Structure 1
Amino acid sequence: MKLFRFGSPIIAALMVLVAGANQAAVAADATPAASPIYGVTIPEGYREWQMIAPAAEAAPLDELRVVLGNPVAIKAIKDATLPFPDGTILVKLAYKKKHSDDFEPATVPGAPTTVQIMVKDSRKYASTGGWGFGRFINGMPADLAQHQTCFACHAARVKDRDYVFTRYAP
């Protein structure tokens, strides 16, 4: 009986330590990975956002893409508001093109390639037109070199549209 009384607090303490370690591990796994340079993460619930526009990319990418927007983005793009207001978030989902197994002439999404994100915060990202960028492959940020090209490409082609390529598809 003494062993049981002596052992109980030790077992209880071990159980608390194990539970705490498990919670810490779960919390660490739940922390979203941030993009280099900008610190952008994949927004929670983005798959429930409205579609702004679909797109298809020719070779060499050969992708199907769709751009989604949070409610701030949807309102701004529908109202043609430029510059986009702070809080705007655009998410581009990209997939390899493939022919449908059910209907050969149809093209359907194949394997996912990237999730690309733009976040508008005019103070935080003042040096890049107010936008922070994130590019993710399999849920993890792409390398630094890929993030370094984001703003340069947008600035060279769509600076007059607040650095946004996407146009609303009604």
Structure 2
Amino acid sequence: MKKVFVMLSLGLLVAGTSFAQDAPVKERKARTERSGREGGRKENITPEQKAEKRAQMLTKKYNLTQAQQEKVKALYLQQAQERTAFKAQRDANAPGNQQQREAMKAKHEQWNAEFQKILTKEQYAQYQNDQKARASRFEGKGGHKGHKMKNRAQKAEQKS
């Protein structure tokens, strides 16, 4: 009787494990197909398209008026064109040049000042809060070299 019981339980055990292995296997797409990009490269968007997309996003987020939207679109079109020219110049020269970095920072400050003139005080305050929140989100990740060094210095200060 014991032998029959052991044999039946072994048979059920073998049958149960064989059914557990028949789960359908999903085919996984390549990373480039999942991201929706061809060849894994970013789409080439013209500066006009970039400016339009950015202006629409800011209009939704900060409830811009039509006049503000046109000014923002013009500002971002200018910015996108200057960045494209800057990247072409940077690629021609040695990358990582300190003068180029300083020039880009100065341009960014200029764009920011012009952007502040376009928005109302409330809209600009909301924009600054969003920028601070975005910066704090990326602070611990060490995305840029400067941030990583700053975080290391902060960590060293906290330990001592």
TM-score (norm 1): 0.24
Higher relative CO (CA 8 A, sep ≥ 6), structure 1 or 2?
1
Rg larger for: 2
* Higher normalized strand content (fraction of residues): 1
* Higher normalized helix content (fraction of residues): 2
